[in-house]
Amino acid sequence: MAQDAADVARLASAARTLTELDAAVSVCRACERLVQWREQVAAAPRASFAGQPYWGRPVPSFGDPDATALIVGLAPAAHGANRTGRMFTGDRSGDWLYQALHALGRASRPTSTHAGDGLELDDLRITALAHCAPPANKPTTQESATCGQWLDRELALMEPRLRAVLCLGSLAWNATLAAARRIGWDVPRPKPRFGHEAVATLLRRDGRPLRLIGCYHVSQQNTFTGVLTREMLLSALGKLWTSET
Ligand code: SF4
């Protein structure tokens, strides 16, 4: 079990499959502040979820292990994925994301309410730059760097098949670019700028291109205010499986 950043580096490198990686992530305790927070939230459920057991642990990535497409989010929501144990499950952000993915034929259901609801993804995996719920939805720079080591390994394990990565928000965009550099992918300089539907081309270690796509985050801050509309989300997500720029 990872107790610090060095353990994360060692255990991430040792993971030979995504299943092994997910298992190591799900018991990680490397970030003291986040461990305390996720467990504190789990011990004091929101009134509307009283009586429900909270996951209260790191939330592993979710989806098709053979996917050519990956979505990188920010971090689990305190009463969403930190409660249900599955990425973007049990909150309004997830409602938006999975409804759009269902419309695109990539999610088997338009809703994502709990880990046993039968939802499956087709040719898509979903991860986050931090796997534990952070206070105020903001991991520190150090926490992002520590958890980023899991992302390094995830990208490396997916690399043979992966063709496109969609980043929800600028933090995910920057974390993915940093991870790509660390594992030896060629990232354009100057660094590509985040924007909704911004597209950058990275080169994997064997020289094959991979598309990085920006998308405003599906947080209520964006969806309630019209910064991100359903049409905008569908358009950005659709780019995961096309070659358009
Ligand atoms: S945020 Fe990541 S590195 Fe930190 S404790 Fe959670 S899983 Fe481990």
> How far apart are the CA of 30 and the centre of ligand 1, in A?
6
CA of 99 to the centre of ligand 1 (A): 28
The pLDDT value recorded for residue 45 is: 87
Q: What is the mean pLDDT of each run of 10 residues along the chain (245 residues)?
A: 96 98 98 97 89 94 97 96 97 96 98 96 98 96 98 98 98 98 97 98 97 97 96 98 72
Say if residues 179 and 155 touch (Cβ distance below 8 Å). Answer: yes
What is d(CA 77, CA 119) in angstroms, rounded to the nearest whole number?
19
For residue 146, the ligand 1 atom closest to its alpha carbon is 3
Ligand 1, from 132, 149, 153: best to mutate by most atoms within 8 Å of Cβ?
132
Question: 127 C-alpha to center of ligand 1: Å?
Answer: 13
Please give the structure tokens belonging to residue 223. 């969806």
Residues with CB under 6 Å of ligand 1 are 2, 8, 25, 28-31, 34-35, 58, 130-132, 143, 146-147
pLDDT tens track for 211-224: 999 999 999 999 99
**Ligand 1 atom closest to 28 (CA):** 8
Residue-level pLDDT at 244? 55
Name which of 181, 206, 205 is nearest 191 in CA terms.
Answer: 181
